[in-house]
Structure 1
Amino acid sequence: MNNDQLEGKWKQVKGKFKQSYGDLTDDDLYYSEGKFDEMLGRLQEKTGRSKEELKDEIDRL
């Protein structure tokens, strides 16, 4: 999924991540253009998963 597609579907993906990882906050899942890697870093810290694992999960959602 490219960044344009991600931006278009982020609200759906964000909701599913919050269901899967209950300790995530809106701040953790805040996405703004050009800040995808920063957001992935926050998700890595909270979930203990690698960037590749998180990208794969986002693509599946």
Structure 2
Amino acid sequence: MNTDQIAGKWKQMKGEAKIAWGKLTDDDLDIAEGHKDKLTGKIQERYGRTKEEAQREVDDFFSRY
């Protein structure tokens, strides 16, 4: 899925992201706006994951769509 498709579906995906990463706030998810790099950064901040771990989680999440 490309960036434009993700941005278009982000409102739908946002609920699933909240389930996957409960520590992320609505503001965090609004800031991410479906951008993988921003979401990766927020996961790193909230969960203390390495960049590689967070990136893998985000890639797995987006691969479902």
Residues 46-55 or 1-10, more deviating: 46-55
2:21 match = 21
1:2 match = 2
Structure 1 spans left out of the alignment, 5+ residues: none
1:28 and 1:39 map into 2 onto residues whose CA distance is 8
Corresponding residue SS for 1:22: coil
Contact 2:24-2:42 at 8 Å conserved across structures: no
RMSD of aligned Cα (Å): 2.2
Structure 2 spans left out of the alignment, 5+ residues: none
The TM-score with structure 2 as length reference comes to: 0.66
Q: Does 1:50 align with 2:28?
A: no
Could you report, residue by residue, the CA deviation over 1:13-61 in whole angstroms, capped at 9, with x for unpaired residues? Answer: 110011222221011112348xx22332112322433213312212214
The TM-score with structure 1 as length reference comes to: 0.69
Runs of 4+, deviation exceeding 6 Å: none
Report the AA paired with residue 60 of structure 1.
R
1:32 and 1:14 map into 2 onto residues whose CA distance is 9
Matched residues, number: 59
